[in-house]
A and B are shown apart, each in its own frame.
Chain A
Amino acid sequence: MKESEYQKPLPTISSLNRPYWEGLKRRELRLQKCDGCGLTWYPPAPLCPGCWSRKFTWTRLSGHGRISSWVVFHQAYFRSYEGDIPYNVVEVELDEGPRVLANLLGANADIRCGMPVEIVFDDVTEELTLARFKTRPSR
């Protein structure tokens, strides 16, 4: 789909978060990791919010995590989401620490806190790839 045809909200891309979105496009979940203290953080920031070092590396993450909380929208605030009601939004605590919001593929009735999940790269337009998640069998 061309971006001009995509009706849902687009991300606000800035100098800080551009590498994140470029990473998703390449099917890589990348976040900043501090070269000094080792903290991995989200959302993207100008420096390490832990130790204030400006030396960090955009590091590829496992894409694995667990659901820490979740909601189901029964009201369509966006016209472009009317067809998706009821849709979920899950908060995923990534194995590397940060939490991100996303959608879980599959039935809303099956969602539980603590459920292990893994990333699914969803090319919603020629330009934009979103990070969604699916359940991951626990070992």
Chain B
Amino acid sequence: MANFDLKDRAAIAGVGNSQYGRRLMRSPIDLAADAIAGALDDCGLTRDELDGMIVSFGSPIGADGDSVAQLLGLKLRTCNQTWAHGRFTASCITWAAMLVNAGLADAVACLASVSFSSVRRPMMGGSGDREGAREAGGGHGEDPVYGMTSPGAGAALVARRYFDRYGCDSRALASVPVAFRRHAAMNPAAIMRESIDVEAHQRSRYVCEPLHLLDYCLINDGAACAIVTTSERARDLKKPPVYIGGMQGLPGGREEFIWAYPGLGVAQQSVFEYEAGQQRVYQMAGVTPAEVDALFTYDAFSIVAWIALERFGFCKPGEAAGFTQDGRIEIGGELPMNTNGGLLSEAHIMGWNHQVEIVRQLRGECGARQVKDAEVIQWANAYGDSLIYHK
């Protein structure tokens, strides 16, 4: 074990969010102000006590850390930022946990604030999408020379591969958006609350076949913030700390493709039968998948919820199609997932709305959608990173 053991040494002390909506007509920094002020109020820290910030997803869709600090009159000792891509939620929380335990900051605001409606050219696919122009192509397999564009197209490639390899289809996949929509119906903050069923999923138009519109997450406006501090400090603040028991980084290399676990055979991955095995996040937290009370995942597309379940050993490769049926992933089921409604139905705040919900679930603040006796909640993704939170 490392000599810098972070197990249970950092906690989320406060969370906050802006309103979520399709077109709020408010700038990313305007929305960020609501989320940061909400999170400070939630934990009882003052603006001057906030001395660190990590921004996940910046301009031009999101708010950049330096501009937020300037416009809100913050005095930050350390201000860091990822590039404008959504998969860095666990990374930001991990870096914040490291900063506060290394004494480089006392309280770090992890922030994502986005306003898709304020950009003139669409940026998720098409001419405004910078992903496909990256050297060696986009992170979701974008190759615009052949018309391959948008994050969803990469997920569609994974879905087809999965359907073919394991002998299932789009009808089975409907279980994911249908379950998350049921959760959103219990969440007043969710953007999409109208009930859907398998037939509605099947009737919804194809965007990139085999994925239908209802397999796609929202594109919207909103901000969410989580304030990380040491566990010791958090215990003296307004609300009970939510401890970070385990963490696992974002893997990279030729065996990785953002929406697939190794072995599925997408992009340059080898083909083999994936085994979840013992992963660092579980070892560090001292928890097994069976002890996880609720699972949250970056559900940009329905198929990646299946991939996450299998990647982390909740079921074996090919079994998620069956596992997600019959209410098993709904509140009251064996493993409730994305009780906020997810990116698919609550809002797409780059996974930060999920962190807000996890904290509220562990505090018992979720009302009608409260997971009974929730003590351990995991954030785990198709792309391999994870956090385990507990009371």
Contacts and interface: CB of A to CB of B under 8 A. Distances in A.
- Are chains A and B native binding partners rather than an unrelated pairing? yes
Interface of A: 8-12, 14, 16-17, 41-44, 49, 68-75, 77-79, 81, 84, 86-87, 89, 91, 93, 98-99, 101-103, 113-114, 130
Contacts of B207: 74-75
Contact of B135 (A14, A71, A102, A130): A14
A101 B208 CA distance: 15
B266 A69 contact: yes
Contacts of B144: 9, 78
Given A43-B136, A89-B153, A113 B147 contact: no
Contacts of B134: 12
Interface residues of B, number: 38
Contacts of A11: 145
Contacts of B137: 43
Contact of B205 (A71, A74, A87, A113): A74
14 contacts: A9-B144, A9-B149, A12-B134, A12-B135, A16-B136, A42-B268, A43-B136, A70-B157, A71-B208, A74-B205, A74-B208, A75-B125, A93-B265, A114-B164
B146 to A, nearest CB: 5
Interface string B125-154: 111010011111100010111111110010
Interface of B: 122, 125-127, 129, 132-137, 141, 143-150, 153, 156-158, 160-161, 164, 205-210, 254, 265-268
A103 B157 contact: no
A67 to B, nearest CB: 10
Contact of A72 (B122, B133, B206): B206
A71 B150 contact: no
Contact of B161 (A14, A16, A68, A87): A68
Given A71-B209, A101-B141, A77 B150 contact: yes
